[in-house]
Amino acid sequence: MNAQTETNSRELTYSEAIREAMDIALGNDERVILMGEDIGVYGGAFGVTGDLVEKYGTDRVMDTPISELGGAGVAVGAALTGLRPIFEFQFSDFATLGMEQIVNQAAKLRFMLGGAVSVPVVMRFPAGSGTGAAAQHSQSLEAWTAHVPGLKVVQPSTPEDAKGLLLAALEDPDPVMIYEHKLLYKMKGPVPAGHYTTPIGKAAIRREGRDVSIVATAIMVHKALEAAETLAREGIDAEVIDLRTIRPIDRDTVLASVRKTGRLICVYEGVKTLGVGAEVSAMVAESDAFDFLDAPIVRLGGAECPIPYNPQLEKAVVPQVPDILDAARGLTKGRI
């Protein structure tokens, strides 16, 4: 069932929606297990798993040792045996210690064994800045995993999609990486009851417009929507596209929007160089949509530095609403 057709909606936080998805999956399919550091009695570093260990026991909600490489390896091995593991990295930054299992094992085994096996593992990554957690706990590394063939990579921006994309990931035969922005965990929104899926590989048009296309990911979707409201009062009609999935990217939706508006801004929190916006820009440049552009493509990404601890500096190194406003004004008024 598609989320848009479900009428029985309630208001849940982003983290509650994720927990509900895991609860549904655990209840419906005995192959589903949860793994990660402190996800049991403690309920997860951000409280997402909550009391699921009390409901399903330690055989299915398992605390792992402080070894991301080991935990990720067990999750990949469990998937190969037919289980449907959901592995949580306590912070997405810690996945750097598990990249061997993600990149060399999960992503490649189906290919190397001629399709004889699949690796249906789901990995969750609490990501992004804004919590004052400094350089080693605040990164946006989704472009790392999106670079790897064999992995699917999603970034839900709403509670509804946080639930729907997780349930869709559990039905996928290939490894799915889910990046959850930490500042979104407390955000509330309508979430359909029961089981539904949000399609992997399909973007959402959050706001239709005619003057400029703003393609955004994760929390940047909300900053783009806030900017779009201000722009509308100035007579600039911005279209906001939530990619939702960055591997595979919804090429058709992005290109159709650019053909309509003739202008493109890519907004993402990861470092600007070689980030998600670079791929979207190249995709447009290599298509017929390039001929519809009336101005250069603008990328708004993270600064070329680690995330600072200082709150003001932390905000300064990732795109904010004023940056989006300046870019949109510049594009539509011919200053860029």
d(CA 54, CA 23): 12
* 207 close to 259: Cβ distance less than 8 angstroms: no
Residue 144 burial (C-beta neighbours within 10 Å; 0-12, 13-18, 19+):
buried
Residue 77 structure tokens: 């091995």
Catalytic residue among 68, 88, 142, 269: 68
Question: Is 137 an annotated catalytic residue?
Answer: yes
Residue 127 structure tokens: 């990501």
Q: What are phi and psi of 180, to 5 degrees?
A: -110, 115
End-to-end CA distance of the chain: 44
* 48 close to 15: Cβ distance less than 8 angstroms: yes
d(CA 276, CA 271): 9
Catalytic residue among 20, 88, 137, 142: 137
d(CA 266, CA 250): 14
Question: Is 222 an annotated catalytic residue?
Answer: no
Catalytic residue numbers read 68, 137
